[in-house]
């Protein structure tokens, strides 16, 4: 319930129909919550950004080729936004907080946790799960550039062309990173960088 005792009006923006409709059905049965809309894309989400119609908006980060985080770049005059995502990465949580989201909940969380987050942000609170972030290793600016491009799926040749260095130099950077961090492969490097929040999400 909101502070005036009315049901909390909730909307969902998620491009996966099963997740979108399933979550809507689960929440609509919760005391004090009322589903008022769903959307599958940024375009469809526009009417759901009206705080006169929606109290809390649940927002997926990845909407096809679009980023749900772009909806956070609007300042005041919008519902409280809870990022609801499958990607439990520290840098996503940090980006959501920095851009003004009121909460961050992973899709694997129990429904009770999501309901609690909705109720908390509807009354002006924050709902960020306490997830300890691993200590990111110290990277040089060049190593950070290389890791970012590895995460993007670029080959050594592509990384070299992008950074204006030889492919062998890229290989040398990667070999030093593997040795220093105890890694075996590019995939392991990319996975750890994402999961441990080494890189900033713009």
- Pair 59, 84: CB distance under 8 Å: yes
What is the model's pLDDT at position 176? 93
The answer on pLDDT for 77 being more than 80 is: no
- pTM, whole model, 2 decimals? 0.67
- Pair 80, 89: CB distance under 8 Å: no
List b or e across 126-161, with b for residues whose CB sees 16 or more CB atoms inside 10 angstroms: ebbeeeeeeeeeebeeebebbbbbbbeebebeebbe
More confident: 199 or 103:
103
Do the domains at 8-128 and 141-195 have one common CATH topology?
A: no
Q: Which helix (H) or strand (E) holds 58?
A: strand 56-59
Spatial neighbors of 25 by CB under 8 A, at least 6 apart, are none
Token pair in block for residue 155: 């080959």
Q: What does CATH list as the number for 141-195? A: 1.10.10.10
Domain map (residue ranges) of the chain: 8-128, 141-195
Half-sphere exposure of 199 (CA within 13 A, CB side): 20
Token pair in block for residue 68: 């749900």
Q: Which of 27-31, 40-44, 96-100, 147-151 has the lowest mean pLDDT?
A: 96-100
Rounded to the nearest integer, the mean pLDDT of the chain is 87
One CATH from 2.60.34.30, 1.10.600.10, 3.40.50.2300, 3.30.43.10 for 8-128? 3.40.50.2300
């Amino acid at each position: 319930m909101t502070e005036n005792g009315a049901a909390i009006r909730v909307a969902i923006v998620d491009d996966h129909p099963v997740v979108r409709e399933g979550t809507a059905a689960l929440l609509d049965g919760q005391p004090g919550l009322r589903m008022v809309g769903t959307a599958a894309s940024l375009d469809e989400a526009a009417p759901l950004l009206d705080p006169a119609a929606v109290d809390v908006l649940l927002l997926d980060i990845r909407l096809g080729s679009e980023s749900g985080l772009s909806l956070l770049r609007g300042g005041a005059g919008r519902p409280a936004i809870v990022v609801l995502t499958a990607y439990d990465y520290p840098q996503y949580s940090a980006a959501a907080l920095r851009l003004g989201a009121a909460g961050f909940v992973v899709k694997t969380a129990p429904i009770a946790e999501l309901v609690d987050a909705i109720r908390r942000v509807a009354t002006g609170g924050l709902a960020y799960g306490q997830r300890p972030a691993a200590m990111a290793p110290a990277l040089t600016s060049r190593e950070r550039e290389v890791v970012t491009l590895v995460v993007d799926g670029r080959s050594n040749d592509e990384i070299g062309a992008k950074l204006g260095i030889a492919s062998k130099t890229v290989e040398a950077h990667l070999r030093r990173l593997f040795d220093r961090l105890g890694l075996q492969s590019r995939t392991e490097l990319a996975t750890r960088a994402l999961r441990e929040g080494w890189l900033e999400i713009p």
